[in-house]
Amino acid sequence: MPLARTAAIGRNALVVIAVILAGAALRWMGDILTPLLLAIFIAVMVDGFARVIRRRAPFLHPGAATVAAIVISGAGLVCAALVVADNASGFLGKLSTYEPRLDTLIARLATAMGFKPERIDQLLGQFDPTPYLSFAAQALQGFASTALLVFIYLGFLMASRRTFERKAVKLFPGREERQEAVRLFLRIRDDIESYLWIQTVLGGVIAVASWAVMMAMGLDDALFWAFLIFVVNYVPIVGAVVAIAAPTLFALVQFGDFGHAAILLAALFAITFVVGNIMLPRMQGSSLNMDPLVVLLSLAFWGALWGLAGAFLSTPLTVLVMVILAQFEGSRWIAVMLSGDGDPLGATHRAAQKATTARESA
C-alpha cells in the first residue's frame, strides 16, 4: 500500500477518534458549556442588533448602540415573559371548563376503538403524578440555574469585548495569519447571524399567520399559542411538528369535534409549508450551505448531548463545526460531507480570499 494512502487512512482514523472523544467531552461538560454557548449566541444577536442600530443612527457611539440593543432586547424579553405568564394563567384557569368536552371526546374515541369509555376524572384518579411533579420541579430548578448562568456569562462576555482585538494580535502575530483568522471569525459570525435573523423573521411570519387563523376560528388563548409557535420554530423540524400538533390537539379538546381540528391542522400545515418551501429558500439562499439530512442528524446529535438547549443550538453549532473543520486538510472531508454542495467554505469566502490576495500582490 502506498505510503501516502497509509498516511491518509491513519489521519482520517485519528479524526474519527478525535470526534468521538470530543463528543464524550462535550457530553461530560454539558452543564458548563450549554449556558456559555447560549450566552455567546445571545451576545452575537445583541452585537448584530447593535450594528443595525449604528447603520440606522450613525451618530450614535458604538457603546451607546450596544447599550440600546441590550435594553431593547431585554425589554422585549420581559414583555414576552409577561404576555406568556398572563395567557398561561388564563389557560390553566380554563382547563376545568374543558373536562366535559374531554370526557365526550374520550368516550367517542374509546367507543370507536372498542374500549370501555371512562371519564377524565376516573383516568386521573388512576394516575400518580408524584414522579412527574418531582421531575418538573427538577426541570424548573435546572432552567432557573441555567438562565442565571447565561446572564452571568453574557455580562462577562460583553464586558470583555474590548480585549478580544488585543488577544487576537498576540495570538496571531503575523499579518496574514491574523487576516485569515478575522475572515474565519466573520464568516462564522455572519452565518450564525443570518441563521438567527432568518429563523426570527420566518418564525414571526408563521406565528402571526397562525394567530390570525386561530383568532378567526375562535380558538382560546390564540396569543399564547402564537408565541409558543414562534419559540419552537427555532428548533429545526421538531419545532414545526410541535407548532402544528399542539394547537390542533387543543382545538380538538376545545371544540369537541374533528372538523375544527382538521381545519386548523390543514391551515397550520399550509402556513408552515408555504413559509418553509417558498420563503425560506429565497431568504436563506446558500448562506448556511448545509445538507438537509445533516440538519436532521445534527438535531438528533446535539439534542442527545444537551437536550432542549442542544436542539435549539444544533444548526448554528453544526455550521461552526463545518467552517472550522474546512480549515484543516485532515478534517476537510468531514466539512465537505456536512455541506450542502460540497463546498464548505462557500464562493463568497473564496472570492474574499482572492480579493485579499490580489490587493496584497498589488
Taking CA atoms, 324 is separated from 64, 78, 102, 329, in Å, by 33, 35, 52, 11
pLDDT per position as a tens digit, 252-291: 878 877 788 899 999 999 998 888 777 776 666 555 677 7
What's the gap between Cα 65 and its chain centre? Answer: 25
**Domain annotation covers residue 2:** yes
Single-letter amino acid, residue 165: E
**Domain annotation covers residue 195:** no
**Domain annotation covers residue 49:** yes
Could you read off the pLDDT tens digit of each residue along the chain, which spans 362 residues?
565 666 667 777 777 787 788 878 888 888 888 888 888 888 888 888 888 888 888 888 777 888 888 888 778 777 776 776 676 666 666 666 666 666 666 666 666 666 665 555 555 555 554 555 555 556 556 666 777 788 888 888 877 776 776 776 677 777 777 777 777 777 777 777 778 888 888 889 999 999 999 999 888 888 888 888 988 888 877 888 888 988 988 888 788 777 888 999 999 999 988 887 777 766 665 556 777 788 888 888 888 888 878 888 888 888 888 878 887 776 777 788 877 777 676 654 444 444 444 444 44
Residue (of 242, 249, 244) closest to 267 by Cα position:
244
**Domain annotation covers residue 17:** yes
**Domain annotation covers residue 152:** yes
**Domain annotation covers residue 226:** no
**Domain annotation covers residue 54:** yes
Those residues with Cβ within 8 angstroms of residue 313's Cβ, 6 or more apart along the chain or in another chain: 37, 38, 41, 302, 306
Residue 19 structural domain: 1-93+130-160
Look up the pTM and report it. Answer: 0.71
**Domain annotation covers residue 205:** no
Domain count of the fold of the chain: 1
Residue (of 245, 223, 256, 205) closest to 88 by Cα position:
223
Q: In whole angstroms, give the CA distance from residue 182 to residue 15.
A: 25
